[in-house]
Amino acid sequence: MNYAEMAITVSDLNKYIKDKIADDEYLNNILVKGEISNFKNHYTGHMYFTLKDENSLIKCIMFKSYALNLKFMPKDGMKVILIGGVSVFERDGVYQIYVKAMEEDGLGDLYAKFQNLKNKLEDQGLFDEEHKIKIPIMPKIIGVLTSRNRCSYKRYY
């Protein structure tokens, strides 16, 4: 069996998955609620952000033509309800929601918890200038920490 002849390209696979999702009526007109994070209002007028809840997240894009119809400016920590369609950005093989409309649904619980913790730490003085150490121009040691799951730490001398 010649696997090389049977194999498809990455582009072919991403196109196949995109076509499968495009055929799903539910995914083409979906109503989703969540909290905005990593919001970017691009100079082109497109809006890029992540929609998340306590357990999961999905990337979203709202093109300028739809963003012009918004009655508010989205921002990190805002709870929203959006309508759009799920599709695959073929180049990166990433699925995301292409947002057509969005409305406010209050301040996000995750953002409120973050702000409460930040305020608590500020009250304890942990962000005061006296605790900050200047980064040397030529550091002798650089450490890189990755995720808790990978448990990886590297030192560079």
| Predicted confidence (pLDDT) at residue 108 exceeds the cutoff of 70 | no
Domains of the chain, earliest start first? 3-111 (2.40.50.140)
Per DSSP, the residues of 82-106 read EEEEEEEETTTTEEEEEEEEEEEEE
Q: What is the pLDDT of residue 116?
A: 86
For residue 89, name the pLDDT band (cuts at 50, 70, 90): very high
36-57: average pLDDT: 96
Q: What is the pLDDT of residue 124?
A: 86
| Predicted confidence (pLDDT) at residue 81 exceeds the cutoff of 60 | yes
For residue 107, name the pLDDT band (cuts at 50, 70, 90): low
Q: Supply the mean pLDDT for the chain.
A: 88
For residue 131, name the pLDDT band (cuts at 50, 70, 90): confident
For residue 11, name the pLDDT band (cuts at 50, 70, 90): very high
